[in-house]
Structure 1
Amino acid sequence: MSYVLLAIPFFFLLIGLELIAEKVRGTQYYRVNDAINSLSAGVLSRVTGLVHKLIPFTIYALVYEHIALFSLPEAAWVWVFAFVFYDFCYYWNHRLGHEMNILWAAHVVHHSSEEYNLTTALRQSSSSLFSWVFYLPMAVLGIDPVVMISVGSLNLIYQFWVHTRHIPKLGWLEWILVTPSNHRVHHAQNQIYIDRNYGGVFIVWDRLFGSFQEELDEEPPLFGIRKALHSWNPLWANVHVYHQLARDCWHARRWQDKLLVWFKRTGWRPADVEARFPLPKADLSRFKKYDPPLSTSAKWYCLIQHGLTIVIALMLLLSGNQLSGWQPWAIMLFVMFSSVSLGALMDNRESAFWLELGKNLLVLMGAILSALPAWLAALLISGTLISMVMLWFVRMVNPLPAVE
């Protein structure tokens, strides 16, 4: 079984504790727009995962049933072996995710934040198409699908706490485990830190295979990606590298290059495409975080609306089996629409007002027309009307410059 859903309350508890540490220490590791964007990406990853993760699990189960070399007993050592071997597979999945264009296109969303805090851990991909392939060796060795899912979820849960800047180096643990210090290296775009420290739980794989880099006091990490996203749209965060690869594929003159562009090392482009459509090179000496101005009322509106979106997403995740055929899709599309709409508002786009108005009208219509309990319908209607008043206040009292 997956333990991720059970861990969600603890994730938010730790985020709350980190915010308290932020206040006490006077640090500036959080921004409302960045945190909401990270959480939106995480919500999208979980709700879309209900659809696209079924096929990989089925393939794993088929390989386990028909190709497994061993029949492993239900013993504690099997679980320990599976946990360690999963992390070994994760290392190569993660490493190739940085070293191959098509795999980086899926993984890049996790690195797109220019901050580093616990919300960054939840900024997960919704478009990972091939990562499941790296775990098929576990099926071949006879690791039960339930065990694989369980240790995989524990691996993911472990990785949450290392996304913080409040914990320094941890002595001898730095040699064995992935810690906040060596994972900060992984998220940095400084030249010395690029493509280092891929382990999920154990850093020993990086030390064995030559990809380890210690965090240096004289080289503070600059977080984010070289080709900065400059958008709070979580859908665009998931597809922007695919978009660039598709453009390069279309413009490449040689058929060989049209194929290679997807599978060559990250950043590779056909020579003719590079010459005709050059991309600007990142200058880290002039690095500036993407941070469009956002009024206080707009920040509060975004926080409240995102909180409601999280509640709706949790309803889908926790009661998906009780919903009819079209209802999960409707909720998933609403979560996607809401995330894009809030992203537009945080980007100061003129279209954001109309997107948010449309979203609120959808909720209002759904509450009136759906066969909901009276108390829930009343709650949704009253909450939506309040949201529309807040939206109008944000629009009229605190106008922001459009960047369409």
Structure 2
Amino acid sequence: MNYILYAVPFFFLLIGLELLADRWRGMRSYRLADAINSLSAGVLSTTSGLLTKVVGLLTYGFAWQHWGLFELSVENPWVWVFAFVFYDFCYYWNHRLGHERNVLWAAHSVHHQSEDYNLSTALRQTSTGFIFGWIFYLPMALVGVPPLVFLTVGALNLLYQFWVHTRHVPKLGWFEWIFITPSNHRVHHAQNPIYMDRNYGGVFIVWDRLFGTFQEELDEEPVIFGVTTPLRSWNPLWANLQFYAALWRDAVRAESWWDKLRIWFMRTGWRPADVAAKYPLAKPDLASFVKFDVPLGRPAQLYATLQFIAYVIGGTWLLGWGEGWALGGQLLGWSWMAFGLYVLGTWLENRPWAPWLEWARLLANVPALWLAQRMELLPAGTEAWSLLGLYSLLSVVGIYLPRLGSARLAPR
């Protein structure tokens, strides 16, 4: 069962409730472009999972079948309890190394790039974590945890982590000693030096207390969210590529072949001495920290919101039906989603070429629909073409009507 798919409506319901709590308490934990960017990264991640999760499933299944030391039964409730705790232990080390090694941080940094902290941040997930993430869960296969149990407890672990991404819940007393809470997870998302690289557990904070990585949220040190190398973009594709690109640039610039290789696996932030000397990196001054923002008119914001809703619906449909498609169909679905979210990012950044790129996106829907029908991913017939025509017409109106209205109202 795909628990994440069924949880999607509840995610958005809780986000809506958090927005109401914001208004009631006079807080501003949401900004439209930041929230859409976080959610876009999440939609892209789930869509990418159609193509990439086979890596983890195949390696786990092979290790369990051929190298499992014990035969643990799905029928035994204690196996589920053991697997739930063991999964979080493995997650702790996956998460910790994701902060401590350059190439792993390149994948995980996506989750930390938001400079706001709210429930949409929880859905801001990487699309490249599959490259190394599967390694950390092989111990579960080796002790005989069945794949069904592994997948289920993994989904439950991820679902638990959703609620801790909020500023509205204070410290929770004794609960803070055992479980991950909003307070100790706010610490994890901070870029304050005292808070960085702390509180790695997914469900249980006990691993951090045992291994010396726990840090309490301090009243005298308000959390500043984000990363020390700011993304400064609303583009989910660049969000996934930013740190890889930085590592690649440094690897190319390094004179030593050994440095070109080891930079990927050194501690996060390590750079070859010759590169650091020639190309120093300036870190933001937290005392004068200003969140990234791009001015965008209300009509353009509304247009972006409606287009994003369309992609959420499309992404949910892909998540529900795409698993049964052949590789070609999955690639088509991913390409359609990735390009659309990229264009939406340029729109939110108010790029001069954003309207022209939006035209290209609308036109690209025509061959995409034709291919989808040829591959029998969508039913043949005129209904889909009629819907696409209506959608395209409304989109064109959305692109140009606000601009025409602004031109008429402008003083002469």
Please give the TM-score of this superposition, normalised by the length of structure 2.
0.94
- 1:346 aligned partner, one-letter code: L
SS of structure 2 residue aligned to 1:265? coil
CA contact (8 A) 2:51 2:331 kept: no
Specify which of 140, 143, 146 is matched with residue 145 of structure 2.
Answer: 143
SS of structure 2 residue aligned to 1:193? coil
Measured in 2, the distance between the counterparts of 1:263 and 1:395 equals 49
1:236 is matched with 238
1:71 has 2:71 as partner = yes
Measured in 2, the distance between the counterparts of 1:77 and 1:291 equals 49
Residue deviations 1:350-384 (CA, integer Å, cap 9, x gap): 12111111112223565588554544432332122
1:98 is matched with 99
1:402 is matched with none
CA contact (8 A) 1:38 1:113 kept: yes
Residue deviations 1:66-120 (CA, integer Å, cap 9, x gap): 1111111230000000000000000000000000000000000000000000000
Measured in 2, the distance between the counterparts of 1:175 and 1:19 equals 29
CA contact (8 A) 1:185 1:215 kept: yes
2:321 is matched with 319
Q: 1:327 to 1:199 in 2, by over 3 A?
A: same
SS of structure 1 residue aligned to 2:213? coil
Measured in 1, the distance between the counterparts of 2:71 and 2:121 equals 39
Alignment of 1:4-403 (within 5 A): 4-74=4-74, 75-128=76-129, 129-323=131-325, 325-364=327-366, 370=373, 372-397=380-405
SS of structure 2 residue aligned to 1:130? helix
Deviation for aligned residue 1:322: 5.0
- 1:85 aligned partner, one-letter code: F
Residue deviations 1:225-256 (CA, integer Å, cap 9, x gap): 01111101101000110001111111111111
CA contact (8 A) 2:51 2:330 kept: no
SS of structure 2 residue aligned to 1:335? helix
CA contact (8 A) 2:332 2:368 kept: no
Deviation for aligned residue 1:277: 1.1
CA contact (8 A) 1:90 1:199 kept: yes
SS of structure 2 residue aligned to 1:53? helix
Measured in 1, the distance between the counterparts of 2:110 and 2:116 equals 13
CA contact (8 A) 2:50 2:323 kept: no
Residue deviations 1:183-209 (CA, integer Å, cap 9, x gap): 000001011100010000000100111
CA contact (8 A) 2:102 2:265 kept: yes
Q: 1:139 to 1:309 in 2, by over 3 A?
A: same
Deviates more, 1:273-282 or 1:225-234: 273-282
Unaligned runs of 5+ in 2: 374-378, 408-412
CA contact (8 A) 1:175 1:203 kept: yes
CA contact (8 A) 2:100 2:267 kept: yes
Measured in 2, the distance between the counterparts of 1:114 and 1:190 equals 12
CA contact (8 A) 1:353 1:395 kept: no
Measured in 1, the distance between the counterparts of 2:65 and 2:191 equals 43
Deviation for aligned residue 1:3: 1.5
Deviation for aligned residue 1:172: 0.7
Q: 1:227 to 1:366 in 2, by over 3 A?
A: closer
CA contact (8 A) 2:73 2:146 kept: no
Measured in 1, the distance between the counterparts of 2:366 and 2:126 equals 30
Q: 1:350 to 1:397 in 2, by over 3 A?
A: farther
Measured in 1, the distance between the counterparts of 2:384 and 2:324 equals 17
Measured in 1, the distance between the counterparts of 2:22 and 2:2 equals 31
Please give the TM-score of this superposition, normalised by the length of structure 1.
0.95
2:376 is matched with none
Q: 1:365 to 1:62 in 2, by over 3 A?
A: closer
Q: What fraction of aligned residue pairs are identical, expressed as a percent?
A: 55
SS of structure 2 residue aligned to 1:198? coil
Q: 1:209 to 1:30 in 2, by over 3 A?
A: same
Q: 1:196 to 1:354 in 2, by over 3 A?
A: same
Measured in 1, the distance between the counterparts of 2:264 and 2:406 equals 45
- 2:268 aligned partner, one-letter code: T
Measured in 1, the distance between the counterparts of 2:115 and 2:152 equals 31
SS of structure 2 residue aligned to 1:262? coil
Deviates more, 1:38-47 or 1:349-358: 349-358
Q: 1:314 to 1:372 in 2, by over 3 A?
A: farther
The number of residue pairs the alignment matches comes to 399
CA contact (8 A) 1:364 1:381 kept: no
Measured in 2, the distance between the counterparts of 1:353 and 1:154 equals 41
